[in-house]
Structure formats: C-alpha cells, structure tokens
A and B are shown apart, each in its own frame.
Chain A
Amino acid sequence: MTPMNRAASVSESLDRSAVASWVRGRGVYVAFVALLIFNLIITPNFASVATFSNLLIQVSPIVLVSLGVALAIGTEGIDLSVGSVMALASAFLPLYLGYGWPVALFVALLVGAVAGLVNGSLVAFVGVQPIIATLAMLVGGRGLAQIFASGQLLIVSDPAVLALGQGRLFGIPAPVIVAVVAVLVVGFLVNRTTFGRYVVAIGGNRSASYLSGHPVRRTLLLVYIISGLLAALAGIVATARLGASDPSNIGILIELSAITAVVVGGTPLSGGRVRILGTVMGALLIQLISTTFIANDLPFTWAQVFTAAIILVAVYLQKGRGAA
C-alpha cells in the first residue's frame, strides 16, 4: 500500500470512528439535549424561567458534591461520605451563628475539611481502601451530626446565611452562583494545575505516578479535603435554602446521585480521567429526569428506573471504549 492511499483510507476510517467516539465520550450532552427538547414539546409550561431556575437550584448541591466525588473517582478512589459531611456542616452552622455568620460559615467549612482530612489520611497514610474509609465516615459522620445537633431541627434565621440559599444576584439564584464558581475552580484545578495532572496520573497508574516523583499521598489527602469542603459548602447551601439545620435528613443518599452524575458524565470508575463539565451535565440530566416525571404527573418510581437505565447505558458505552 502506498503512503497516499493509506492516508486516504486512514482519514476515512478516522472520520467514522471519531464521530462514534465523540458521541460515546459526550453521550450525556446528547441525552440532556434530547430530554430537554422532549420536555419543550410534551411538558406543559416547561419553557418558563421558573422551571429552569428551579431545576438549577435543585441541582446545585448535587453538582457541588459531585465535583468532589469526581476528583476521588479520578484517583481510582471514591467518596461515599459526602451526604454525611453535608449533615455535619449543617449541624455545626447554627451552633456558631452567635459569633456572627462569617465565623459560622468558616466553622462549617472547617468541619467539612476535617472530615475530608480524616478520609484522606486513612486512604493516603493508613492505606485503607477509599470505599471503606469513606463508608465509615458516611455512617459515623451522620451520627456525629445528630449528636451535635441533639437530634433536633434548628431554625436558621441569619439573613446573610439565608441569602446563600434564597437570595439572587442579577436575578441568578445564589446556590447556582455558588455551584458555578465551584465548577470553575475545580475545572481550573483539574485542567490547568499540576494537582490535576497528579490526580489523573495516580488514578491511571499509581505506581508509575509515584516513580515519576509525584507527591501521591499529598495529592490523595488534598482530593479528600477538597471533597469534604465541597460537601460542607453543599450542606450550607441546602441548610440556607431550607431555612433550618436538619442533620437527620440533609444529604441523605446524595452520594448515589453524585456517583451517578460522575459516571454518566464520562469519568470512569477505574480512574485516570476526570470530566468536570460531563459531571455537571450528568447531574443536570438526572435532575431533569425527575423533573420530567414530576411535571408530567408520572410516578416518581419510574424516574428511578429510568435513571438506572441511563447509568447502565453510560457504563456500557465506557466499556465499549475500553474494548475498542
């Protein structure tokens, strides 16, 4: 075969496989847009500012915790404790409001960072498997949160805190702004910094990463601390939206939504890659699925079945990429 006709056949087959792999890598966008169009046609009053504003407000806490989970999954780990860390942050927030809202917010975030530090230390230094370490935090964290809150629902009335959940800036809901800023920051970390490179290198081949001189333990520690911080932030936003600290219910099962968002968004559970925008889209997609079912008066249980199907399709498509 001469170089020329080889080149011709190359570009032809590249075209086809490029389209296929583009769709595979970004199936979540296609699915989201398709469901959006479906809703615009079928769902009554869907095309309204209120609908979209609600969708975005509801998805904000999920996006926040998903970002942290995406980082953990990128290192071939996982963070199951995000829901409980939300509860911890929520429990501490009203306890320190007497010192003013900046102190209360700082303490709530600090609690999240400490929870992440514990997770990260267990993973990086003790060598506990991430799923076990964060499972312990999932169980123990919520227990602690309830102890500190004396198992009670506490009303939060500080206007500055409430603004984080209920306020608007230039008409944009505050939780959405918080989530967008977090997405930008984490996106920057992942795509532009050495920390981001270390994350995917560790997830891709930990031994090779270590032998390339990467600070493996420090990076893992930082990943779980960031995840804890983001979860605390989600806990603050959720508390502010509710106007009350409710450690028994806040963030329950959110880790499952987060994992779904991350995986559907194209970050493989085996690590080595982190898709931030994909994760955001994944979170939007599962939120849109429940919105669709609720708005059309369909039983919510079917939304769960539908979400399950989406997860399986996402994982199947990832598998296809590996085999090819």
Chain B
Amino acid sequence: MEQRDPILEVRRVTKRFPGVLALDGVSLELRPGEVHALVGENGAGKSTLIKVITGVYRPDEGQIFLGGEEVSFAEPRESQAAGISTIYQEINLIPLLSVAQNIFLGREPRGSLGLIDRDRINREAAEILERYGIRADVAAPLHSLGLGVQQMVAIARAISVEARVVIMDEPTSSLEAREVETLFGVIRQLREEGVGLIYVSHRLDELYEICDRVTVLRDGKVVHTGELTELSRLQLIAHMLGRELAEVEAEGATGFGEEHEAREEPVLQARDLTQRPRLHDISFDVRPGEVVGLAGLLGAGRTETARAIFGAEPLDSGSVKVSGEEVKSGSPAAAIRAGVAFLPEDRKSDGIIPDLSVKANIVAAALPRLARAGMVSEKAQNELVEEFMQNLGIRASSPDQPVRELSGGNQQKVLLARWLCMNPRVLILDEPTRGIDVGAKAEIQKLVDDLAVNGLGVILISSELEELTEGSDRVVALRDGAVVGLLSGEEITEGNLMEVLAHGGGSGYGTPEDGNDADE
C-alpha cells in the first residue's frame, strides 16, 4: 500500500474512568484507502477508543487529527459532520420508519415549502442501496426486515453521508454469510474511494479476509500495530491474550476438545417436539457427560428447539423428560425445577437484568431455592455469590456493582453463574461465546468442557462450525425445523456437517430415526 498521510491520527490518547484507566497513551494511524483492524479482548479499550474518536468521550490527554488538522469533538454530531461515520454493533434505527426514511433520518432532502421530499428520499435511498449491492425494499418499514438486512441499512446510512472515516464495530455479528459477502463488497468499494476504515471484530477469518493493518489493544495500551499479513493467527491471538505463543499453540484455537465419555441413561429425552410451523417432530437424547451440538443455518429452529425444551415456547405436541421424569411443558419454572438451565442467545434482552447488581443477577434463578417462607436468606445468597464469582473469575468491583457496567464476557459469566449455582443436570447454551472476547471465550469453552466431564449434559448451539465440531460429542443437524442428520465421534468434521446441512439425511450419516435411538 502506498504511504500517504494519515486521514485520521490518534496521538497518545489517555482516558480515565472512575476505577479504570481505559486508554493509556494510545496512538493509531489510519491511512486513506486502508481497512484497519482494531482488536483486543473485551475491556481492552476498543469501545472507549471509538467513543473518543467519535466525540462521545473527551480524551483526558492526547490529540486527534483528522486530515492533518487537530480536532476536538464535543459530541458525536460534530464528528459526523466532520466525516466520521460509525456503525455500532446494535442497530440504532427507528423500527416503524421505512428503510429510506431511516437512511435519511435527520438530513431529509427538502422540497418546495421546506417539506420533506418523500419521492426523492425513496429514489436516492434506492440508488445508495443499489450502488453497494444491498437488496431491500426502500419503502418497507424497517422492522419488517430481518436483522441482517437492518444491519445493512444501518451501514448504508453510515456510508451515504460521504464519510472520510468509517468505523465498524462488529458489523457482522448479526449477518448471515451471504450478507457478510455483501458487506465486504461495500468495504472494498469504500477502500477504492479512499475512505479509511476501522474494523472491529472478534472473527479472525473476517479480519484476514478484509483488513490491511491491525492494531491490538490490551488493558488500554497498544501492544502491536502493523501489517496483518505479517502476523499469523496464533501470533495475533497471543498478542490479544498477552500470552506466549507456545502456550496458545498447546491449547489449540478453542478451549473445547476433551472427548467426553457418555455414560448411563439419557439425562434428557426430547420426543417429537412440534410447534407448527417452526418445529416438526424433533427428537434427541442427551446423556450425562455429553455435549450435544445443535447445528443448523439461521432459521433452522435451533433456538426454538432450545426454548421448547426449556418450556419457554408452547408445544403443539411432544414431550421432554429429564432423568426419566416428564417435565410439565410451557413453564420455564418447571423446567428449572427439573434441573434444566438455559443460557439464552441474546444476553441483553433475555439474560441480564441490567440495573440490578451482579449479586441479584446471579441468584435470580436460585431465589425460590434460597427462600424460606418467601424470605431470602442474605447469608446463603452472599456465600453462593462469592463462591461463583471466584470460581468463574467474574471481574466486578463488588457483588453490588450493576451488571450493565461489566464487559460482555463478564456478563456472560454472571449468567453462567446464575445457572451453575442451580446444579443443573442439563445445560442449554445458545451461542455462549457470541460477541465476547477471545480470552473469555476460551475460559467459557474450557468451563463447559469441565462441566461435561463432571457429568452434566450439555446442549450447545453455535453458528461457528469450529466451536460445534471441537466441542460436541454428537451433533444434531436441523433444517427447516426438523432433524436432518446426526453425527457422532469421528464423523464430526466441518465438511461432514456442511454436507448434512446442505443435503440432509441423504449423505449416509445419521437420519432422524437415529436421534430416537437411545441405545445407539
């Protein structure tokens, strides 16, 4: 890449928060026409750095230069006006407005009399989407579209403002593979146009596919910056974790990997779970000490299956047995009493209770058990919370800290603690490592491994094939709400799995009937 003057330069920026030095003399150079990866564990300072660049926070020390001139933004609006566009992980759009209205929100073109020119909005929005190869009906209300398309609209909005710098914070976390390709097309075009991009992601594949250079943050400091091609994946992970390369190599890329010896009778038997039109006759078993992966593409019914087992979705027919006893359907409370635990996919909307303390979040499910005559024993609570905060290495200033202030990885550990303190027999994990940093991810994978070794039955849902193949003892493949295959042992490879998901049953691997066979 040609050496041009940086379009954005962050020079020795320091930012402190009460109790935390979030950024410690961080410098970063972004050149025009480059895609710059910004990586690090949660809590490394990526989000803070982005917020300093976009004017959400003021740096305590250091300077920021945009196009060679020093800038100091008091609020995000000013950085936007100066040509810095940011796409956040969560979609910040208005569900009831149309796609076009969202794209032009706050800068609607005016017609005569100063009224909003709706035709022009639709026309120009269509042009923008067309230009970047995004397919969506501009007149449709945003909420009627899938999450992935909504994310693409957010991206279209961000890049349609003639930005000089575009910052993407985990833009692919809600995208499907096909949409990721579209996004990469957009990124390549922006690069051609000389825009500088900062790309934050936890997905290594994406980084190596699209990024030119990389800056690695750890504990608020830059620990590495340079060309990405000169850095191997293992070196990159080693930088992020602050560990020696040899250590990472020894542990493998994911923490999963133990072979678990499945023993005894199934701890969970799901039989003919049907919820029209989404689930059809889903049956499978989980034995103690076994990790059963649920594989499938988006919309295959993985989450619905998990929720149905947990009683959070009504069933048209079918039954769930835990240790041979039938569980009352349609009641999470009954499933919990029977020993089922469920870590939901969407940590924010279904998991944490943000304003409550770490402690209250951990004991949430255990309340009925800790209570005597409707009263909660403070002592029993504290002991439990202390034990699990320590065991899981939950980093919080105190058990009374509101859980919303914790990093994503630590929030996930709080939720794990909520379920592990119940001594469950079956643990359902729906995308347990989504959106959390490499370090916490490895810890959680290791933890699940250990739990399975100790006799817990685990159902693992993951969109990452690698996580499924390395973590599972058996894999149940779902397509369109039905079981289309079953892999076990040596059969579990990414190739086989994709084959089953693509062609189902016919490939000579498992058939739905295998799932019913407890003696297999």
Per the bound structure, the CA–CA distance linking A207 and B24 in Å amounts to 38
Closest residue on chain B to residue A189 by CB atoms: B374
Q: Is B350's CB under 8 angstroms from A197's CB?
A: no
Contacting pair A6 B21 (CB below 8 A):
yes
Give which listed residue, A1, A17, A214, contacts B364 with CB less than 8 A: A214
Residue B356 at the A interface, CB < 8 A?
yes
Q: Which residues of A contact B360 (CB under 8 A)?
A: 197, 200-201
Indicate if B485 sits at the interface (CB-CB under 8 A): no
Instruction: Tell me if A48 is interfacial: C-beta within 8 Å of chain B.
Output: no
Please name the residue on chain A nearest to B377 by beta carbon: A192
A245 to B371 alpha-carbon distance, docked (Å):
42
A13 to B60, CA, bound (A): 14
Among the listed A10, A197, A200, which residue makes an inter-chain contact with B18, where contact means beta carbons less than 8 Å apart? A10
CB distance from A75 to the nearest CB of B (A): 12
CA distance A195 to B342 in the complex (A): 22
- Whether a CB of chain A sits under 8 angstroms from the CB of B492 is no
Q: State whether A211 and B312 are in contact (beta carbons under 8 Å apart), knowing that A193-B374, A197-B367 are contacts in the complex.
A: yes
Using an 8 Å CB-CB cutoff, how does the interface string of B319-359 with A read, 1 for contact, 0 for none?
00000000000001101110000101000011111111000
Alpha-carbon gap, A210 to B336, bound state (A): 11
Main secondary structure of the interface of A (DSSP, over half): helix
A23 at the interface (CB under 8 A from B): no
Find out whether the CB atom of A272 lies under 8 angstroms from the CB atom of B312: no
Tell me whether B19 and A212 are in contact (CB under 8 A): no
B74 within 8 A of A: no
The answer to whether A272 and B356 touch across the interface, beta carbons within 8 angstroms, is yes
**Once the chains bind, are B365 and A213 in contact (CB under 8 Å)?**
yes
Contacts of B202 in A (CB 8 A): none
Contacts of A204 in B (CB 8 A): 353-356
**Across-interface contacts of A215 in B (CB, < 8 A):** 333
Decide if A257 is an interface residue (CB 8 Å cutoff): no
How far apart sit A192 and B377, CA to CA, in the bound complex (Å)?
8
- Residues of A within 8 Å of B312, CB to CB, are 210-211
Chain A's nearest CB lies how many Å from the CB of B338? Answer: 11
Q: Are A13 and B19 within 8 A (Cβ)? A: yes
The closest CB in chain A to the CB of B333 belongs to: A213
- Taking the closest CB of chain B, its distance from the CB of A154, in whole angstroms, is 39
Q: Is the CB of B16 within 8 A of A212?
A: no
- With A9-B16, A14-B19, A209-B353 given, is the CB distance from A194 to B342 under 8 Å? no
Give the shortest distance, in Å, between B341 (CB) and chain A (any CB).
10
Bound-state CA distance A208–B376 (Å) is: 20
The answer to whether A273 and B376 have CB atoms under 8 Å apart is no
Tell me if B368 counts as interface (CB < 8 A to partner A). yes
Question: Given known contacts A211-B344, A212-B365, A213-B332, is B350 in contact with A272 (CB within 8 Å)?
Answer: no
**What's the minimum C-beta distance from B478 to chain A, rounded to whole angstroms?**
21
Q: Does A205 contact B (CB under 8 A)?
A: yes
- B349: contacting residue among A200, A201, A207, A272, CB under 8 A: A207
> Chain A: which residue is nearest B403 at the CB level?
A204
For residue A7, which residue of chain B has the nearest CB?
B19
Interface residues of B in 382-397 (CB under 8 A from A): none
Is B250 an interface residue, CB under 8 A from the partner? no
Main secondary structure of the interface of B (DSSP, over half): mixed
A288 CB to closest chain B CB (Å) equals 30
Q: A201-B360, A211-B342, A214-B364 are in contact. Are A194 and B374 (CB under 8 A)?
A: yes
Determine the chain A residues whose CB is within 8 A of the CB of B1 once the complex forms.
none
User: For residues 12 through 52 of chain A, which have their beta carbon under 8 Å from a beta carbon of chain B?
Assistant: 13-14, 16-17
Q: Is B380 an interface residue (CB 8 A)?
A: no
Against B, the Cβ 8 Å flags (1 = close, 0 = not) of A208-251 are 11111111000000000000000000000000000000000000
Cα A250 to Cα B24 with chains together (Å) = 63
List of B residues within 8 angstroms of A10 by Cβ = 18-20
**Are B374 and A195 in contact, with the CB atoms below 8 A?**
yes
**Could you say which residues of chain B place their CB within 8 Å of the CB of A194?**
367-368, 371, 374-376
* Complex Cα spacing A193 to B377, Å: 9
Complex contacts, B376 vs chain A, CB 8 Å: 192-194, 197
Report yes or no: B24 in contact with A208, Cβ–Cβ below 8 A: no
Residues 182-202 of A, flagged 1 when their CB comes within 8 A of B and 0 if not, give 000000000011110110110
List chain B residues, Cβ under 8 A from A207: 349-350
A residues near B441, Cβ cutoff 8 Å? none
In angstroms, Cα B374 to Cα A1, docked, is 48
Determine if B418 is an interface residue (Cβ-Cβ < 8 Å). yes
Q: How far does the alpha carbon of A299 sit from the alpha carbon of B371 in the complex, in Å? A: 53
Question: How far does the alpha carbon of A197 sit from the alpha carbon of B374 in the complex, in Å?
Answer: 10
Residue of B nearest to A202 (CB): B353
Distance of A16 from chain B, by nearest CB (Å): 8
Identify the interface centre among A6, A14, A212: most chain B CB within 10 Å of its CB.
A212
Q: Which of B332, B352, B367 has the most CB of A within 10 A?
A: B367
* B352 and A213 form a contact (CB under 8 A): no
A92 to B344, CA, bound (A): 49
| Contact of A13 with B18 in the complex, beta carbons under 8 Å | yes
- Known A-B contacts A6-B21, A192-B375; the reply to A214 vs B367 at CB < 8 A is yes
- Give Cα distance in the complex from A14 to B20, angstroms: 10
Hey, which chain A residues are within 8 Å of B336, CB to CB? 212-213
Instruction: Indicate which residue in A17, A208, A213 contacts B353 across the interface (CB closer than 8 Å).
Output: A208
Check if A200 sits within 8 Å of B374, measured CB to CB. no
> B337: which A residues are within 8 A, CB to CB?
213
Distance of A16 Cα from B19 Cα, bound (Å): 12
**A294 to B501 Cα, complex, angstroms:** 77
Write out the residue numbers on chain A whose beta carbons fall within 8 Å of the beta carbon of B374.
193-195
Please measure, in the bound complex, the distance between the C-alpha atom of A200 and the C-alpha atom of B367, giving whole angstroms: 13
Verify A211–B16 contact, CB threshold 8 A.
Answer: no
Docked CA distance A201–B357 (Å)? 11
Closest to B355 in A: A272
Contact residues in B for A205 (Cβ distance below 8 Å): 349-350, 352-354
Can you name 25 A-B pairs with beta carbons within 8 Å? A10-B19, A16-B18, A192-B375, A192-B376, A193-B371, A193-B374, A194-B376, A200-B360, A201-B353, A201-B356, A204-B354, A205-B349, A205-B350, A205-B354, A208-B350, A209-B364, A210-B312, A211-B310, A211-B342, A212-B332, A212-B365, A213-B332, A213-B368, A215-B333, A272-B354
Nearest 5 A-B pairs (CB), nearest first?
A204-B353, A213-B336, A213-B333, A212-B364, A13-B18
Known: A205-B353, A210-B312, A272-B354. 20 other contacts (CB 8 A): A9-B21, A13-B16, A13-B19, A14-B18, A16-B18, A193-B371, A197-B367, A200-B353, A204-B353, A204-B356, A208-B350, A208-B351, A208-B352, A210-B332, A211-B310, A211-B312, A211-B342, A212-B332, A214-B333, A272-B356
**Residues of A in contact with B (beta carbons under 8 Å apart):** 1, 6, 9-10, 13-14, 16-17, 192-195, 197-198, 200-201, 204-205, 207-215, 272-273
